[in-house]
Structure 1
């Protein structure tokens, strides 16, 4: 393998996903060097992300399309590094084309609702018969077994069911929906982990397998990382707002011109916090001299920090904490955060590029937040137009001649 290649160079992924959870998983696989062939439904305008406002147009960012080349920001972000082929999977003749793709692939990723792939005749059982080495990854709301009723899995529904909405805010507050679609983003991370593990196993055994990841299980497993029930049973409230009493001093506090976060649960960091506030004499105070004592008196300690910070600027507060070795940072807005030189230089955040109009100033997307010492990770290739690579894939990869491709188009397969 060329050292400039990604670690998945030579692997081919058939991408049956749409919206966010599935496309983010295949985006990660593309960034790792896999060839990702995105299969899109021509009768529905392809991936639903193609129809998410706003759009990058020749006149900049607009709420509506004005020309065929205009592309949604969502697709520009999620479609990078992929090839697009149109295929109407509801057409009986599409299965032959799909299975030809599978014969030339290592991985299939889909995020249909549970049971849809079986009804279409393209589920793991069918695909395994065509390519026993295939790793078939399913991302769904509740798992391959499905749930009674509709079982629609939107991010907000998953956040509601997982309990995560009740972990932020003050006691008594209404449920708080995370602004980041965390349910849609956590599941694909686990899906990629499972996919790569299954690929390694397939290389060792010659047998693929079904990788089944649920959005609900992924997010709930993270909620379970914190023993909220146990904490409540000993008196720690589930929702603690801007602070975390059991780790005092810990939380976010306001200054004259913004907010800052502090994380100082150890004796050393707590002593530094008191010293930064000019209260070094309280280091030996029984209320603050040990971790358990500080937790017991967390409300008092956090009140002292709030009172100290309130009349001061963020720069003054952070400078004092930094001088005393206390972990602290400003609370930044998203525009500032994505322009940080550290993350942009490491290509953890990268500019989004329209395939025709180029980069629109201020438009950024996620990179791969992994830096390899030898391999490369790349998402510089812009998202494809709908069906842009159909002829190339059918002719180049599958060996179909022009007559056959034309016939498939006429019949509504493509």
Structure 2
């Protein structure tokens, strides 16, 4: 695709696992040429060895053939070029220098200090290309922090406070089902990268973009004033219902669960009409928002009893007829097959580059629609080192002999 927003930009991708590769996946989906640098000595990106794998016959928990590829790589590797390169090898360092001289962006998610030891940190890269945008995604910031070790998603969730925002008040911490710590930082990293690219166009100077997983997730926790709730006696953890927005929450029905969001007077009164209890609209307990919050348990109890014995479809019909925001609670399998998100390519099918669509897999698209350009993925994930010749010979101009020598010395 040449009509994408980042077409013509080149990204050197030094990332592995999830946080970094998700950022570069989005950059690739926006049109950048992403060159994924993988260590030949370790088998490349760690996610290449994440079960399950897609085989000729479908999904498997073990790799049966060399061509089998992990679902993680099938999703995160789309639209990327894979080259192998040992950055610990002095000759590998020289090859890396050739890659970044004409690149626009470098993205890395090494532990703090690793890029400096390898001689590929921002100061080193900037001497090669002053206009480079160098984006670091780490657990605690590029310089690390007190006691900062390996940053795993659950560690970040635990430290951010998000685990204590869900669940019942008397329950233990609740881990968010999505790896939200791993997936939020890349979004900010892409925002920072694109912003720095725009500034570099004006100034001719690149810069270091530094995003931490802990900072990204904690910043979202701070968007909701939990400390203020606590100060005025509102519970921070409320389980399936949210008293401060009553009526608001998740309610069991005869055949599923209903999500209800009716914090305004108009919505709340619509709920009461849907229930056949319009007489309660002028009840002093439920007439205004403040009154409903003070009597939230009683109000939620009435709604829960109404929902408990009725089919979900009947409840939705009654609520939507009154203009009340309500929806069924879906499982992930159903959600990613919604015709709307499929039509908008926010969720897309993912296929194996050799075996095709043998596993009926759904994967993230680029959930941004442009009026005058395209975003999305048109190439499957690459095999390890699949684009060595294309990048090293066609892009960098290395001869076949030079490439053969680099391979013989295990540099690539």
TM-score scaled by length of structure 1? 0.98
Report deviation, 1:361: 4.2
In structure 2, distance between residues paired with 1:409 and 1:315: 62
Structure 1 residue 294, shift from structure 2 partner: 0.5
> 1:341-378 deviations in whole A, cap 9, x for unaligned?
00000000000110000112421100000011110112
Partner of 2:334: 336
Equivalent residues of 2:319, 2:326 under 8 A apart: yes
Structure 2 distance, partners of 1:88, 1:413, is: 5
Is the contact made by 2:347 and 2:363 (CA closer than 8 Å) also made in structure 1? yes
Name the residue aligned to 2:247.
Answer: 249
Q: 1:10 to 1:320 in 2, by over 3 A?
A: same
Measured against aligned partners, the alpha-carbon deviations of 1:239-264 in whole angstroms (never above 9, x if no partner) come to: 00001111111000000100010100
1:183 aligns with 2:181: yes
- Distance in structure 2 (CA, Å) of the matches to 1:232 and 1:29: 40
For 1:101, the equivalent position in structure 2 comes to 99
Task: State whether residues 42 and 87 of structure 1, in contact with CA within 8 Å, keep that contact through their aligned partners in structure 2.
Answer: yes
Q: Distance in 2 between matches of 1:386 and 1:368?
A: 24
Q: Distance in 2 between matches of 1:7 and 1:260?
A: 39
Aligned to 1:285: 283
Report the equivalent of 2:27. 29
Which residue in the other structure is 1:322 paired with? 320
Structure 1's consecutive aligned runs of 4 or more residues displaced over 4 angstroms after TM superposition are: none
Count how many residue pairs are aligned between Structure 1 and Structure 2: 412
Residue number in structure 1 paired with 2:7: 9
Structure 2: how far apart are the matches of 1:404 and 1:259? 63
1:137 to 132, 135, 138: 135
Instruction: Give the secondary structure class of the aligned counterpart of 1:42.
Output: coil
1:147: how far off? 2.3
**Equivalent residue number for residue 166 of structure 1:** 164
- Please state if 1:345 is matched with 2:378: no
The change in CA–CA distance for 1:240 and 1:150 in structure 2 (over 3 A counts) is closer
* Inter-partner Cα distance in structure 2 for 1:284 and 1:237: 27
SS at match of 1:175: coil
Contact 1:12 / 1:36 at 8 angstroms: preserved in 2? yes
Distance (Å, rounded) in 2 between the aligned partners of 1:360 and 1:218: 37
Q: Superposition RMSD on alpha carbons, in Å?
A: 0.9
* CA–CA separation in structure 2 for the residues paired with 1:224 and 1:128: 34
**Structure 1 residue 148: deviation in Å?**
4.0
C-alpha distance in 2 between matches for 1:149 and 1:327? 45
Distance 2:356 2:4 in 1: 24
> What is the CA–CA distance in structure 1 between the aligned matches of 2:255 and 2:146, rounded to whole Å?
51
- Does residue 34 of structure 2 align to residue 73 of structure 1? no
Residue 113 of structure 1 corresponds to 111
Residue 376 of structure 2: aligned partner: 378
1:199-258 per-residue CA deviation (whole Å, 9 max, x = no partner) reads 000011000000000000000000000010110111111100001111111000000100
Match of 2:358 in 1: 360
Structure 1 position 149, deviation (Å): 4.4
Q: For residue 380 of structure 1, report the CA deviation from its aligned partner.
A: 2.5
Structure 1 unmatched runs, 5+: none
Instruction: Note if contact 1:352-1:360 (Cα within 8 Å) is conserved in structure 2.
Output: no
Task: Provide the residue aligned with 2:53 in structure 1.
Answer: 55
2:226 to 225, 228, 239: 228
Structure 2: runs of 5 or more not aligned: none
SS in 2 for 1:119: helix
Calculate the TM-score normalised by the size of structure 2: 0.99
Counterpart CA distance in 2 for 1:380 and 1:248 is 45
